[in-house]
Amino acid sequence: MVEPLPITRRRFLSSHKSLVTVFWIAAFASLFIWQSRGRGGGGGGASLYRVNGSLSSVFWWTATTTTTSSDAGEFPRLRPVSFNLTDFGAVGDGVTVNTEAFERAVYAISKLSKKGGGQLNVPPGRWLTAPFNLTSFMTLFLAEDAEILAVQDETLWPLLPPLPSYGYGREHYGPRYGSFIHGQNLKDVVVTGNNGSINGQGVYWWKKYRSKLLNHTRGPLVQIMWSSDVVFANITLRDSPFWTLHPYDCKNVTITNMTILAPVFEAPNTDGIDPDSCEDMLIENSYISVGDDGIAIKSGWDQYGTNYGRPSKNILIRNLIIRSMVSAGISIGSEMSGGVSNITVENILIWSSRRGVRIKTAPGRGGYVRDITFRNVTLDELRVGIVVKTDYNEHPDGGFNPQAFPVLENINYTGIYGQGVRVPVRMQGSKEIPVKNVTFRDMSVGITYKKKHIFQCAYVQGRVIGTIFPAPCENLDRYDEQEQLVKQSDSQNATDIDYEI
């Protein structure tokens, strides 16, 4: 699903790597210091918790004496009833397998739905477990230095039926491995904490996948299906076996203040977030650095996606920093057969990545991608900035309809900035899948090579408004800042795509 990095780019990266690394370490160190200050660490105190339905008090203190604060302790009360994972016999030594403790805790919370639900507190420690399911009206709270670790043994991962809108597991026919933390048909689920983490220990899976030792599609780290009112906040997700956070056919999902990490190379398919046939979603204030797409909005694959017929729509994505060395910062597709519409992407920095923002599809997908706005997007040190690709020919099986051409229209790029981009725009429509009604306004992207054809188009209809840099392709109409037509294009279907640059 990804192309290898060309030699020239590798050279460029290795020569600039240390500088870039130093810069980002400095940036994140200051962010970290700022965050720990914000959290405060009082000189000591006491707080009350509800453990196993009864009140008990827990004393705590910290060695820091610099500030005093009203910090309520490790675990704030977010539900009427809370449990401590250790109440269920869990041991956080990184060796004991705690699956039963998690299952018992979730079971206890599942009995509280009429009382406002329950909270499961995960104290500091390394809590190894096999996959487990969440329940409705549940808050999972991870303390600072709490880490939920996935067992490295696929025989302990349940097999689930394929997703109906994909027909098969994405990598193999038949069933697929479930996700590490899973939920389906739920309402009101919150996964949050004080920057604790969920670690999929994915390296085990990546190696087996590359050596072709797996008989089923790998599972995501977290997958929530057919659910509503879902919140992910304030924690780190790390080293997923496959896609990291996969909300599937959900409504009203908020993802905020998250850190999502996987190695930028050799962590195949570790997308950050995959909103899939979801509506009413907010993704914001997060840092994502992974081994595939940072975010990939999807809605099913060819005939299976068309039959399932559930679009992704009304999604707002803002204030993110994303890095994707082998794929793209933000993608729409390529599985988009249920349709994708009304997506806003704003205030985004994509750095040291292969591609910036991408829409990808193919004949056979059907569906549409429409009413998409990219606003205030900064592209730093990228190979290709803005991409539209209409020949992404991966199909589930031979049963797709080759005449099912997706519609791509009403795509608005306003405020596109950055530097060090080799090919700022590559929009490759085709006779069957033309790209219609595209608008570029306020664009200024510094380029690495003074080549001529770096704003590449084929079968693109639309306009540029005002001055934009680099000079746009001839396919687009020119308007001045006052939106008066300056020159109408007579070559919308001209083709100037060069993959050699």
Ligand X SMILES: *[C@@H]1O[C@H](CO)[C@@H](O)[C@H](O)[C@H]1NC(C)=O
Minimum CB distance to ligand X, residue 495 (Å): 11
Indicate which single residue of 182, 218, 360, 389 sits in contact with ligand X (rule: CB under 6 A).
182
Burial of 231 (0-12, 13-18, 19+ CB in 10 A): middle
Minimum CB distance to ligand X, residue 450 (Å): 26
Minimum CB distance to ligand X, residue 247 (Å): 13
Interacting span for ligand X (CB under 6 A) from 225-233, 293-301, 354-362, 446-454: 225-233
Does residue number 419 form part of the binding site for ligand X (CB under 6 A)? Answer: no
**Closest alpha carbon to 417 in 472, 376, 371:** 376
CA-to-CA separations, 355 to 2, 97, 338, in angstroms, rounded = 11, 40, 24
Does residue number 201 form part of the binding site for ligand X (CB under 6 A)? Answer: no
Does residue number 347 form part of the binding site for ligand X (CB under 6 A)? Answer: yes
Q: Are strands 54-60 and 93-97 parallel, antiparallel or unpaired?
A: unpaired
Q: Are 83 and 54 in contact (CB under 8 A)?
A: no
| Residue 110 vs 378, nearer CB to ligand X | 378
Q: What is the dihedral of CA 492, 493, 494, 499, to 10 degrees?
A: 110
Does residue number 496 form part of the binding site for ligand X (CB under 6 A)? Answer: no
Minimum CB distance to ligand X, residue 2 (Å): 24
- Two structure tokens written together for 460: 């693109």
| Residue 314 vs 444, nearer CB to ligand X | 314
Minimum CB distance to ligand X, residue 233 (Å): 4
Cβ atoms within 10 Å of 76's Cβ, excluding its own: 17
Cβ atoms within 10 Å of 157's Cβ, excluding its own: 21
Q: Dihedrals φ, ψ of 103, to 5°?
A: -65, -40
Site for ligand X in 116-155 (CB under 6 A): 121, 123, 131-133, 154
- The 3-state DSSP class for residue 237 equals strand
Q: Are strands 222-225 and 245-248 parallel, antiparallel or unpaired?
A: parallel
Q: Are 231 and 223 in contact (CB under 8 A)?
A: no
Q: From the candidates 292, 302, 380, 477, which is the catalytic residue?
A: 292
CA angle 260, 264, 266 (to 5 degrees): 120
Indicate which single residue of 7, 38, 55, 450 sits in contact with ligand X (rule: CB under 6 A).
38
CA distance linking residue 420 with residue 464, whole number of Å: 22
| Residue 76 vs 263, nearer CB to ligand X | 76
Q: Which residue is nearest to ligand X (CB)?
A: 195
CA distance linking residue 457 with residue 53, whole number of Å: 63
| Residue 308 vs 479, nearer CB to ligand X | 479
Q: Are 197 and 238 in contact (CB under 8 A)?
A: yes
Interacting span for ligand X (CB under 6 A) from 110-118, 162-170, 295-303, 370-378: 370-378
Residues listed for the chain: 501
| Residue 237 vs 303, nearer CB to ligand X | 237
| Residue 394 vs 483, nearer CB to ligand X | 483
Indicate which single residue of 110, 437, 444, 495 sits in contact with ligand X (rule: CB under 6 A).
437
Beta bridge partners of 458: 428, 495
Does residue number 160 form part of the binding site for ligand X (CB under 6 A)? Answer: yes
Does residue number 492 form part of the binding site for ligand X (CB under 6 A)? Answer: yes
- Two structure tokens written together for 418: 């950055």
Tell me, by CB under 6 A, how many residues bind ligand X. Answer: 59
Does residue number 158 form part of the binding site for ligand X (CB under 6 A)? Answer: yes
| Residue 29 vs 451, nearer CB to ligand X | 29
Does residue number 172 form part of the binding site for ligand X (CB under 6 A)? Answer: no
- Two structure tokens written together for 125: 């420690």
- Two structure tokens written together for 197: 């983490």
Site for ligand X in 82-101 (CB under 6 A): 84, 86-88
Annotate 167-180 with three-state secondary structure. CCCCCCCCCEECCC
Spatial CB neighbours of 364, under 8 Å, sequence gap ≥ 6: 302, 393, 395, 400, 401, 402, 404
Minimum CB distance to ligand X, residue 443 (Å): 12
| Residue 203 vs 231, nearer CB to ligand X | 231
Minimum CB distance to ligand X, residue 360 (Å): 18
Does residue number 349 form part of the binding site for ligand X (CB under 6 A)? Answer: yes
292 is catalytic: yes
CA distance linking residue 295 with residue 244, whole number of Å: 10
Minimum CB distance to ligand X, residue 281 (Å): 8
Q: What is the sign, positive or negative, of the torsion defined by CA atoms of 170, 172, 175, 178?
A: negative
Minimum CB distance to ligand X, residue 374 (Å): 9
Site for ligand X in 287-326 (CB under 6 A): 314, 316
CA distance linking residue 418 with residue 132, whole number of Å: 43
Q: Which residues are catalytic?
A: 292
Q: Residues in the site for ligand X, rule: CB under 6 A?
A: 35, 38-39, 49, 51-52, 58, 75, 84, 86-88, 108, 121, 123, 131-133, 154, 158, 160, 178, 182, 184, 188, 190, 192, 194-195, 213-215, 229, 231, 233-234, 252, 257, 314, 316, 342, 344, 347-349, 373, 375-376, 378, 410, 412, 414, 431, 434, 437, 439, 459, 492-493
